[in-house]
Amino acid sequence: MRTGLYFDFSNRGEQHAPAVLNQILEQVELADYLGYDSCLFADAPFAPNGLSASAAELIGALAASTHGIRLGTANRRLGSYHPARAVENYAVLDQLSNGRVICGVSAVSDAKTFGAFGVDVSEAESRFVEALAFMRRAWSHDAFAFKGAHTCFPRVAGEMQAEFEVEPYQDPYLLPWQRAGLPTTHLAITPRPLQLPYPPIWWHLESNAGVAQAAAQGLSVLPGVDMTHDEVADCYQAYVVALNNAGRAAEEVERPVIRDVFVAASKREALELVGAAYGEAHGGMSEGDLLTEHLIVGDPDEVFAQIKQLQQRASFNHIICRTNVPGVSHLDVITSMKLFAGEVITRLRS
């Protein structure tokens, strides 16, 4: 099983942004050294006290200071802007990181974010589906044209169509000096990603909606941190069925999940250190409900056993841990990361 970290930067209170960001950078660099496999960042524009309006800059900084850990977004909302920007961002980051980028995207509608960018939130789902098709085609073709209900590329290629339609590439290809006076009907978006055919795409979910569509396209799903253990198990059970219906096996795709994970000398010590912080992160939930529905906490033996029990129900093969939440000190996060790496990761891999 692979392991990773997740950061959402929410509700930091009195902490100064530079200090928080420097702590995050230190934690990810340590995770790279300790042998964690991945690190995902939330993309949450306009969040109160949020520092993750755009994860691309953080990933770019970490691409230079890490060596093996995969870096990516958890839930970039594709529908609120032109997908060509996402194509360019992920391609550049993949080049900078030497092919370590993960493209985690979300179809979740956010009226505040969509409204700020002048996009009708009712179009969120259709824009997301269209953006996914655009990105995969842009990464797979040297030059292409795209006409959809929301996106026309290049814009002079024609008017917007009522239904999604991809135009085939038309031979012969004209060299740049042969195009004088001709309308631009096909363009290439460069640079291309280092990974072939493109970075892995993970469909971030907050419910079972989207499971069938992701499975049909061979994409991984990423159950979010706010889903309960039972919801995660239900999601993956539905996903495996959908994969089988699409003629695919679960072993063919990465199966990640985000969970709240914290390791200490004992469960009691872990709860004393992080119980209130995780409760606040989940809207003031009680300790009992947290332990039943969200948290994986305790000493290394207990955490390993809880992860394996959930894996038996949900069949994931990549657990991404939210260890850093507001209210948990930087040193406590570091201690938990080291315990997890030294005494849990080794057993999960064996």
Q: What is the pLDDT of residues 36-81, one digit of tens each?
A: 999 999 987 766 666 666 788 889 999 999 999 999 999 998 887 8
Looking at the chain, the whole-number percentage of residues with pLDDT higher than 90 is: 64
Q: What span, in angstroms and rounded, lies between the C-alpha atoms of 93 and 103?
A: 10
Looking at 163-286, list the stretches that DSSP marks H as alpha helix, in order from N- to C-terminal side.
211-216, 229-245, 267-281
User: Which of the pair, 56 or 158, is modelled with greater confidence?
Assistant: 56
* pLDDT band (50, 70, 90) for residue 162: very low
User: Which of the pair, 208 or 112, is modelled with greater confidence?
Assistant: 208
Residue type, 340: F
pLDDT recorded at residue 175 = 64
Element (H, E) at 96: helix 83-96
Region 123-146 average pLDDT: 89
Element (H, E) at 205: strand 201-205
pLDDT recorded at residue 166 = 58
User: Which of the pair, 338 or 12, is modelled with greater confidence?
Assistant: 338
pLDDT at position 114 over 90: no
Pick the range with the lowest mean pLDDT from 49-58, 234-243, 247-256, 257-266.
49-58
pLDDT tens track for 326-340: 889 999 999 999 999
Q: How many CA within 13 A on the CB side of residue 119?
A: 23
Strands 145-147 and 220-223: unpaired
Q: What span, in angstroms and rounded, lies between the C-alpha atoms of 116 and 3?
A: 35
Q: What angle do CA 287, 291, 296 make, to 5 degrees?
A: 130
> What sign has the CA pseudo-torsion 83, 89, 33, 267?
negative
pTM of the model: 0.89
pLDDT recorded at residue 161 = 47
Do 104 and 113 meet the contact criterion of CB atoms below 8 Å apart? no
pLDDT recorded at residue 326 = 85
* pLDDT band (50, 70, 90) for residue 124: confident
Question: Which phi and psi angles does 329 have, rounded to 5°?
Answer: -70, 155
Region 300-314 average pLDDT: 97
pLDDT recorded at residue 176 = 60
Q: What span, in angstroms and rounded, lies between the C-alpha atoms of 156 and 165?
A: 16
Pick the range with the lowest mean pLDDT from 37-51, 205-219, 247-261, 267-281.
37-51
pLDDT at position 264 over 70: yes
Q: Which of 196, 141, 200 is nearest to 166 (CA)?
A: 141
pLDDT recorded at residue 346 = 94
Region 190-210 average pLDDT: 92
User: Which of the pair, 71 or 209, is modelled with greater confidence?
Assistant: 71
What's the mean pLDDT when you consider all of the chain? 88
* pLDDT band (50, 70, 90) for residue 8: confident
Residue the block writes with tokens 């042998």: 35
* pLDDT band (50, 70, 90) for residue 219: very high
pLDDT at position 170 over 90: no
Q: What is the DSSP letter of 77?
A: E
pLDDT recorded at residue 183 = 65
Q: What is the token pair recorded at 96? A: 């900078």
DSSP codes joined into one string, 140-168: H-SSBEEE-SS-EESGGG-PPPSS-EEEP
pLDDT recorded at residue 157 = 46
pLDDT recorded at residue 119 = 78
Q: How far apart are the first and last CA of the chain?
A: 8
* pLDDT band (50, 70, 90) for residue 160: very low
